[in-house]
Structure 1
Amino acid sequence: MITAARLIAHQSVNGKYQTRMAMDKFPVLGHQMTHSIDSFITDSANSATALYTGHKSSVNALGVYADSSPNPLDDPKVQSIAELFHEVRGGGVGIVSTAFIADATPGALTAHTRNRGQYGNVVDSFLNGITNYTWPSWTGPDVLFGGGAEQFIPSSKSFQGKDYYQEFRNKGYNVIQNNTALQAAPTTERSLGIFSVSNMAKWLDRNVYKNNTQIPKTSPDGSSAAAVDQPGLKEMTLKAIDILHKRNPDKGFFLMSEAASIDKMMHTLDYDRALGELLELDDTIKATLKHLEEIGELENTLVIVTADHGHGFDVTGGVDTKFMDAQTSDRAKRNAVGTYEQSGLSQYMVANRSAPIGSDQNLVYSAGVDFPVNWDPRYTLQSGLATFPDHRESYRIHKGSVRVPAINITGFSSNDYFLNYVDAITGFVINGTLPVSADQGVHSLTDVPVFAQGPCQSAFGGVYNNVDIFYNIATCLRLQRTKAGH
């Protein structure tokens, strides 16, 4: 999910911080429309279904047309691009995400349910496919990497209480639970990599505010330890490519790799972490293209970078945070915001590569990718979503943890949210534009870009519906069936 945060890099990272992203160098740019079959605004389940199957559905639906029956698993089903590729071509399939792996975007490749919250069923579908209905054979992906250990550890949260680490081992998978093991893992074996409970740690916390990864009971093995040795999107993606390429030298592979927390941080109004996730995605794209070239597959590989929806995010000015801190009233604090000629330049700076590595001027996190050196400058950016809950805003990095803009208060309805005062103490109050039952921002109707490179790239130019991405990929992979049974 790239579009919402992508505007940060292009509209706000100016003056001393300028960078051109890897996706901007792709030869073809298109735009896709994201609405669902029965609503203007989509969620990730329905939009992933459209991208993967060529069929629009309803909010919360994965790979089905939602019906009115009480059973969320018996709705009319449609095959995904991964299932078709496996059935028709016999090629390898990889699924990589920085979210919990049963989340909507990875789950939509194999799950078929009206309710995206059927997490246990989603995990079981990765391994076993659809078992209760007539359906083409599915033997599992070559690669499944992400978070969400709570769905694999035997408990009330795992499917039928089973140990899904063991279920995967029983079918020949190499089970990996940290980055050290990931790097050492053989490329000849099908691999399950689960690296944390829930969503994986954000780039900013893994690389800058490292103490934030010291969260007890996040280890994927179910212990009380913290999941501190987590890979990033780049490490997972490159390893997935190596496994897929090694195991499928002739039949090829399909890989979906998701920078999931761009979206998740946009929802919580945590724009700095969203930017970190976006730049990690850019780093991953650069490394992927280089690696495909090294293994001789760049010219043979269609690479598409897109999003399933936008957030209505934009940058509209600059902020003098020191001036804001010195003011004592909300109205006075708002004068720290500068627009037009008063917006000035931000103080986000790239590394001085002539300075010593590790110094305040040269915090290089990845060669060739310009992550900001200072994530807490005096002059920052006025940015935000089109719709949001009540909250306080200081336009500064939240160093201690992922942002929590709105909370429920004891004594009020559980569906009643108020601004979280400690979220931005030095900021000012912004009244929300959503119902008071909302504690996060929501998706928007904006069209999202599609960047394409490789075979069939020309098919992805122009403006079209999100379902067309499926048909363009399927055509490029020659998944058409010319006659019955083929």
Structure 2
Amino acid sequence: MKAMKYLLSLALLVCSAASAADLKVYPYDGAKFVPGQRFDLRIEAENVQNFQGAAVTLDGQPVAGLVQTTTKPTSVEWTLRGQSLPTGLHELSVRYRDAAGEATKTARWYVVPAAAARAKNVILFIGDGMGWNTVNAARLIAHPYNPTNGTPTGQLAMMSGLSGMASVTTSSFDSALADSANTASSIATGQKIQVNALNVYPDNTADTLDNPRVETITAMLRRSMGKGVGIVTSAFGVDATPAAFASYTRRRGDYSAIADQYFKGDVQPDVLLLGGSRDFIPSTAPGSRRKDTTDWITDSQKQGYTFVSSRTELNAANTNKLFGLFNIDNIPSYLDRAQYKTTEALGDFKDMPYLWDSTKKAVETLEKNPNGFFLMVEAGMVDKYEHPLDWQRGVWDVLELDKAVEWAKDYAKTHPDTLILVTADHAHSLSVYGGYDATKGPGKREAVGVYESAGFPTYGDKRDANGLPLPETARTYAVGFAAVPDYCETYLGRRIFLDPTVSNGKTGAEAGYLPNPKICEEGGVTRTGNLPPTANQGVHTADPLPLFAFGPGSENFFGMMDQTDLFFSMARALGLDATRNR
């Protein structure tokens, strides 16, 4: 690959069309990179009228090798893939001319200096949707206050013994509000990415898989340092957060293409322990979402992976490459697997791993690589239960994540070159606002206690086989959400999951959602929502996120940080210099 500083002049001809040109340049102005991080240059001229010529320079030198296209009669585009830059400030200038006159565009990019390595390994835990308030709710339940004096009785593993802590802000390239795809991509690449996109910049083509790419930290660690890479999630296998660490697409719903990139892309993780199998099995298999006959369960084994499909098989595995699928879709909540164990939730999948099982086995597999490893572990179902306002299932999945963090911290005691990070991709609007007298039954507003009437909830009076509290206790917390559709509030959880809303049965402009009558029949209080009537669940918020850091390089994580800063802090801790190729 040629660095962009070696560039020759450019003469460009083409096209016809309609008014003054609008120029766009990607990477965007203000983008930052690490040395050697690869990206695709994309320049687009829209509203072209009788195109006459253009010149593109980088740091004052003409750019050569640009591929010119015409996506539609009113546009001209230029693309140059697989570029990289050395440390320092760089400026790309575009001077464009057509019948409407001349237009110019400038983009300045900064490549941060490389640093000396502090850590050999990174274990990155991401609680999907786990904002500060969600973490706090988990703490309140796992470690109730002393009822005699109100003092704390403990902390979550992710909150204790810290060597670094930060509050992280989120936004996307095109919105102040974010989704899991663009936020996880910001962590993976250090870039602002569009909502629903994975590690790509915008372009004006219809093809969602041809957008200009920016290289992920996992690809660079593999390419330049030879490190092992692992991805663990409780969500379905190609959901946005795991996909952000091994794929590239403008549409996070390109599920089959994402699955293919896991095994054919630039990362090809050594460990893939995932929730659902829909996108890895051929179209002829029950439950498949694919349109072709690709069978990654079979084909992965031809590539040297050991395949596992249950907790028993996972714990017994001893291999260098591991691929696991444990459900047809998302892995059900911790409460469903460990406590409720209903047929409705588990179906035929009676032996699914806990997140700490998958974390432990992933590390045991990856640590065989003498160059170290990068492991991303996602508690993906926190978000998927906060959306339907089922705070108990979401919060207990945080407690499951915390046990995985506890295991990782114990591992780091004997592997002190391991950096452990715990954070989220975005937040939800969950808030603990009172106590609730559960003995009065569901849906009783008079059972909500505030201030001194809230008292001390009695979580922990009963615990399960893993030591986690049962949600059923005499006095619970009153927990609500700020961003909601119309729904019925019962204050208490339920053994069988129910969506908060159902369709109103109408079509067109009148289509919308109503409170689920099954929940209302439990005695729920009808709540008028504050989201549009087309909303059927809660939504993400712009609230800041926690970040807890342990081990070497954790001094890079402190204060207020933008989500893109996490990428650069990880790169700094690992001493990543992607100008090298192994």
How does the TM-score come out when normalised to structure 2? 0.72
Summarize deviations over 1:45-92 as a string: whole Å, max 9, x none: 000010110001111000101223111111110111111100010110
The answer to whether the 8 Å contact 1:62/1:112 transfers is: yes
Deviation at 1:37, TM superposition (A): 1.6
Aligned to 1:59: 195
Among 391, 410, 415, the residue aligned to 1:271: 391
Q: Which is strand-richer, 1 or 2? A: 2
SS at match of 2:292: helix
Among 315, 332, 335, the residue aligned to 1:201: 332
Among 62, 79, 83, the residue aligned to 2:219: 83
Q: Which amino acid aligns with 1:470?
A: F
Aligned to 2:363: 241
**d(CA) in 2 for partners of 1:387, 1:88:** 44
Aligned to 1:221: none
**d(CA) in 1 for partners of 2:410, 2:139:** 23
The answer to whether the 8 Å contact 2:419/2:553 transfers is: yes
Q: Which runs of 5+ in 2 are unaligned?
A: 1-126
Deviation at 1:9, TM superposition (A): 2.6
Aligned to 1:357: none
The answer to whether the 8 Å contact 1:312/1:385 transfers is: yes
Say if 2:298 is the partner of 1:166: yes
Say if 2:461 is the partner of 1:341: no
Q: Which amino acid aligns with 2:390?
A: D
Greater radius of gyration (CA): 2
**d(CA) in 2 for partners of 1:431, 1:412:** 22
Aligned to 1:422: 518
Say if 2:289 is the partner of 1:157: yes
| CA 1:52–1:171: 2 relative to 1, 3 Å | same
Aligned to 2:64: none
| CA 1:265–1:362: 2 relative to 1, 3 Å | closer
The answer to whether the 8 Å contact 2:504/2:511 transfers is: no
| CA 1:300–1:71: 2 relative to 1, 3 Å | same
Q: Which amino acid aligns with 1:35?
A: S
Q: Which amino acid aligns with 2:437?
A: D
Q: Which runs of 5+ in 1 are unaligned?
A: 130-136, 217-225, 351-360
Deviation at 1:213, TM superposition (A): 6.1
Deviation at 1:411, TM superposition (A): 4.3
Summarize deviations over 1:421-444 as a string: whole Å, max 9, x none: 212522211111111111111111
SS at match of 2:502: strand
| CA 1:113–1:20: 2 relative to 1, 3 Å | same
**d(CA) in 2 for partners of 1:159, 1:20:** 48
Aligned to 1:393: 489
Deviation at 1:377, TM superposition (A): 2.1
Say if 2:156 is the partner of 1:21: yes
**d(CA) in 1 for partners of 2:479, 2:290:** 39
**d(CA) in 1 for partners of 2:323, 2:395:** 28
Task: After TM superposition, list the pairs within 5 Å mapping 1:213-224 onto structure 2.
Answer: 215-216=346-347
Q: Which amino acid aligns with 1:385?
A: F
The answer to whether the 8 Å contact 2:502/2:536 transfers is: yes
The answer to whether the 8 Å contact 2:334/2:393 transfers is: yes
Deviation at 1:159, TM superposition (A): 6.2
| CA 1:386–1:362: 2 relative to 1, 3 Å | closer
Aligned to 1:189: 320
Summarize deviations over 1:220-254 as a string: whole Å, max 9, x none: xxxxxx111100100001000000012x0x20000
Aligned to 2:3: none
| CA 1:365–1:478: 2 relative to 1, 3 Å | same
Aligned to 2:373: 253
Q: Which is helix-richer, 1 or 2? A: 1
Task: After TM superposition, list the pairs within 5 Å mapping 1:13-412 onto structure 2.
Answer: 13-15=144-146, 18-25=153-160, 26-129=162-265, 137-138=266-267, 140-155=268-283, 157-158=289-290, 160-186=292-318, 188-212=319-343, 215-216=346-347, 226-246=348-368, 248=369, 250-293=370-413, 296-297=414-415, 299-323=416-440, 333-350=444-461, 361=462, 363-366=464-467, 371-372=468-469, 374-400=470-496, 402-411=497-506
| CA 1:54–1:67: 2 relative to 1, 3 Å | same
Deviation at 1:383, TM superposition (A): 1.0
How does the TM-score come out when normalised to structure 1? 0.86
**d(CA) in 1 for partners of 2:526, 2:153:** 31
**d(CA) in 1 for partners of 2:346, 2:396:** 20
RMSD of aligned residue pairs (Cα, Å): 2.0
Q: Which amino acid aligns with 1:30?
A: A
SS at match of 2:446: helix
**d(CA) in 2 for partners of 1:271, 1:471:** 33
| CA 1:427–1:153: 2 relative to 1, 3 Å | same
The answer to whether the 8 Å contact 1:214/1:228 transfers is: no
